[in-house]
Structure 1
Amino acid sequence: MPRLMTEQETAQMVGMSVHWLRRKRWEGGGIPFIKMSQRGAVRYEEETVRQYLDAHFRTSTHDPGGR
């Protein structure tokens, strides 16, 4: 079973704020998430967060990204 993380855990893992995560969910283009209920409980799968970080890894400003 995949490990599901809260917004707070995810924000800490990626070094951003919970507000950033929420804004990216609204705008699109952020980390894929799971909406657990109609009341708005959101979780992030740990492996998906790691994949998102790997895809955004850069070695220079000219690097297109991804490992």
Structure 2
Amino acid sequence: MKSKPKGKLIFRLFMISLIIYVTFLLADLGLFVYYYFSGENVVWNNYIFWYTLKRSYGAIIAIWLAEIFFTLINN
């Protein structure tokens, strides 16, 4: 089986990561704005916001690891 060029793999990983990160960020920024204007506790807002960032980074790292793992298996 012919191996893929590394540049294409890195570009694909970057694009997938960017899409996931922006999706999580938009969804949770919406949540953040909702809680901010509904008069909830500010500590709760900060918790949601930082939880979101950690979750999106976790998803990106998981996808990177999966892509690298399957690339190593296929080669």
TM range (shorter): under 0.3
- Which has the higher Rg, Structure 1 or Structure 2? 2
**Which protein has the bigger helix share?**
2
Q: Give TM-score, length-normalised by structure 1.
A: 0.27
Q: Give TM-score, length-normalised by structure 2.
A: 0.26
**Which protein has the bigger strand share?**
1
Looking at both structures, which has the greater relative contact order when contacts are Cα pairs under 8 Å and sequence separation is at least 6?
2
